[in-house]
Every structure is written in C-alpha cells, then in structure tokens.
Amino acid sequence: MQIAQRFLELVSQRGERRQTLHRVYRHLLDRELFLRAYTNLTTGATVDERVLQRIEAILTQLRAGTYQWQPSRGRSRPNADTLGAGDQLVQEVLRLVLAAYYEPQGSLYAHWLRPQRDCHTALTAIVRTWRGTHWFIEGGSAGCFTQIDSDHLLPIIARSINDARLLKLLRGRLAAGSETDWRDQQTYSGTPQGGGLGSLLANLYLNEFDAYVATVLLPQYNRGAARKGHPETDDRRLYYVRYADAFLLGFVGPYAEAEAINAAVTASFTSLALTRTATKPLITNATTDTVKFLNYELGMPRNAKGQANGRRTADSTPSLQVPTDVVARWQRHYQRAGRPFHRAELLHLSDYAIVATYSAELQSLFTYYALAHDVVRKLQPVKYACTQSLVKTLASKHQKPGAWVWKNYGQHLPTGGSAIVATLTRANQAPLVASCGAAPLRFTPTARLDDGATCSPRRQAGPPVD
C-alpha cells in the first residue's frame, strides 16, 4: 500500500500549504486505497477473493460514473458478508482523502476528530488559560448532523478541491437518505450516518464557525496587557473551545459586551443555516454559577490573593467538577432504593465476564473524570456501590452469601482496600484476569484519553438504561 500512503502524504502536504487539490477523483480508483479502507473498517480482517471481487466491482462503477449510493442503514461494522453495495468502503476512502487534506487546516480551538486531541485536551485548555473569566457563553447546534445543508457544505469543499466528479460523488451520498422501517427516507440536509465520513464533513462545516470566532470575535474582544494583578477597566479577554457541536466561550469584560458576543454567535449560526440550542440561559456568570461542558461542571471560584494598587485582587482559575446528577445516575445503575442489587442480565456470563463488565464501567468513569478536582469525593460512593453490586451479582449466580464471594474472589491491595478478581483459564494460553476495584481513584490534571477510547461525554452522562 505504499502508493496509497504516498498519495495521502502528498494530499496532506498540499493541505498544510493550503493549496488547491485537482483531479482527486481519479486517485480514488486506486485499489490500494480501498484495501486500506477495508483494513480500517474491519480492524485488519483477512482480504479474501470475495473482498477483491467486490472492490473491483465498485471500481468499475466508479470509473464508468454509474456508482449508486444506497440509503444508510446505520453504523454496523462491515465485513466480507455485509459490505453490500460497498457504500461504507467508498465512504472510508473519501474520509481518508478528505481527512489527509483538511486535518492540517483544522482550527486550533477544535478538539473533535483531531490527532492528539480529545475531550480532555479541550478541558485542559480551559483550566490552563481561561484565568479570570467573568462570563461563560455556551451553545451548540441543534441536530448538527441532520441540519447541515449540502448547498452550503459543497461550496465550502469546492473552494479548495477543484474536482467536479468528486463533488458529484459527495452530493450523491448526501442526497441518498436513510432506510427506516424498510422504507427509503429522502434527505434534504445532514451528513451521512453510519461511518466516519459524516463526522468529518460535520467537523469541516463547523470549522467555518471556528474561523469566524478566530478571525472576527477573538481579535475584536482581546485587548490590553496580560492580566496581572488588578486589570485595567478597558482590558478584555475572550477564549474559545469547541468539541463536536458543543462550544464554549469565556469572556473577561462587562455583561453588555458578553451579550453582543452572544448575538454575534447566533448570527453566525444563522448564516450557516444552523439552529443554535437554547434550552437554558446562554450567558452564565462564571463567578457565581457553573456551566456543564462535556459533562463536567465548570466554574470560576474566587480566591483573594495579594495586593494591587492598594486593593485586594480577585484571582480565579477554572475548576472542573463531577456533576451531581452524573453521580446520582451511576449510583442508580448499581442500587435500588439506596441499596446495591444484583444485575440479573449478567448472571448467564462467566465470572470473568461479569467482573470485566463492572471493571470496564468503573474504569471508563474514572478515566473520563480524572480532571475533576472533586473526583475522589464524588466517585468514591459510586465505586462502593459498584463493588457491592458486583458481589451481590456473583453471590446470586452461585447461590452463596456475600462473604463467600469475598473469600473466593477478594484480594487485598498493597495500597490498602480490596478488589474483586476473577480468572479465566485457557488451554495452552495464559489465563485472563479481570479485577474490579483495583484501579486508583485520584485527581490527575495531566490525564489523557487513550486513542480510540469510548469515554465520550454522552456516554459518561450516565449508564445505559437497563
């Protein structure tokens, strides 16, 4: 796949230099690109003769310009038996090329679908730089994926990619619609669902808003020297960060100007044919209230510090906290009427699988909220409820008391406390070991999500409904 890799590297270089791309469509007809796309989608599954035949059939249609998109059927992972007409393969090829070109041009303030960026980098940027913020201006797009208009999106792409056949292929996908209840549903707006291409196109579209904030609002509302001691009355600071369709601005200045910024943001959304979410006040006093961003509570606690010009100054650094409602939802996942209970839906699993399930839930929660200053205090009750529920589930499966579970599965930790450990023996292989309760619960200001982590903000809002 060296030719495909070299092509993507050249595309990335042109993107970094912001040079226009030409004749991209003909490079999509490279079989190596499709093999790479198949490997990405199937996590390295073996390429057999059936796959090669399907790829060749797709390439034949693309060369002839007769390729027909099918309505999207959701997010199922393709394999040799479910590739169907090959839409997911073609989407992945398009994603590879467009990502290589547009990623180097991505906004510094966007943290979604970016290499080495995630929820934690967005939140860390706020904690490290948004010092002294007076007002939070929050928002997002109501139904971002379904609202994006192809009549607005395609001209954005056409500004930097001069290839009519590629644009026609993208337009066909955007218009293909979805299949619901065995009926085709025509779409008039929105990005394709069921693959990474839709997310990339949505991010590309929202990059227009990033550019507006970076080139218009930030220069207009940033003035004066760096804030040290008591600021001058005409000093202003405006901060911005975005993850997916959720954004947050922090403003140091009077409320009247915060209102003007808020109005400008709404006008920008309107110009992009997007509807801004407005389920609650969009401007929040940062020193007296908190906002929820990426399922963290964000506030600016005031601490008296030092003297400046004969007056005490107020210095504030952003504080991240675990939302109380998140704690309550996770506790309800393991408790009923305030008491831990066994989870009947897990009783058919092996002991190892049961412990691994609880462990994965707990570790995911700990990892996501490691940036919260109160993570230990807030999540310790969840850890206790989780462990007790696990004990009751194992006890129910084996028809034994909880003391039996602790005797047979309990393990004391060198750092204090205990964990539930289960082992799955395998013939001629090392045993698999799962433990729940061994993971440390601590505030980690440098925490980062692993690549491909599933600790999304929506996932951590609460457990799945049983």
Q: SS3 of 298, please?
A: strand
Amino acid at 428: N
The string of DSSP codes covering 14-78 is HHHTTPPEES-GGGGG-HHHHHHHHHHHHTS----HHHHHHHHHHHHHHHHT---PPPB--SPPP
Amino acid at 384: Y
Q: Are 170 and 148 in contact (CB under 8 A)?
A: no
**Non-local CB neighbours of 181 within 8 Å, separated by 6+ positions:** none
Q: Angle 125-12-155 (CA atoms, 0-180°, nearest 5)?
A: 85
Alpha helices in 159-247 (DSSP H): 164-175, 196-212, 218-220
Q: Angle 104-110-112 (CA atoms, 0-180°, nearest 5)?
A: 90
The whole model's pTM is what?
0.86
Q: SS3 of 160, please?
A: coil
170-193 burial, b at 16+ Cβ within 10 Å, e below that, comes to beebbebbbeeeeeeeebebbbbb
Q: Are 240 and 109 in contact (CB under 8 A)?
A: yes
Cα–Cα distance, 221 to 339 (Å, whole number): 52
First vs last C-alpha separation in the chain: 45
Cα–Cα distance, 45 to 36 (Å, whole number): 11
Cα–Cα distance, 52 to 168 (Å, whole number): 25
pLDDT tens series, the chain, 466 aa: 688 999 999 999 999 999 999 999 999 999 999 999 998 888 777 888 988 999 999 999 999 999 999 876 655 555 544 444 489 999 999 999 999 999 999 999 999 988 889 999 999 999 999 999 999 999 988 766 677 788 899 999 999 999 999 999 999 988 876 543 333 344 434 555 445 888 899 999 999 999 999 999 999 999 886 655 555 668 899 999 999 999 999 999 999 999 999 999 999 999 998 888 876 678 999 989 999 999 999 998 865 453 433 443 445 789 999 999 999 999 999 999 999 999 999 999 999 999 999 999 999 999 999 999 999 999 999 999 999 999 999 999 999 999 999 999 999 988 778 999 999 999 999 999 999 998 888 999 888 876 444 445 655 656 654 4
Cα–Cα distance, 302 to 317 (Å, whole number): 8
Q: SS3 of 344, please?
A: helix
Q: How far is CA 351 from the centre of its chain?
A: 32
The DSSP secondary-structure symbol of 280 reads: S
Place of tokens 């970094």: 16
Cα–Cα distance, 177 to 421 (Å, whole number): 48
Cα–Cα distance, 146 to 150 (Å, whole number): 11
The DSSP secondary-structure symbol of 335 reads: E
Neighbours of 426 (CB within 10 A): 9
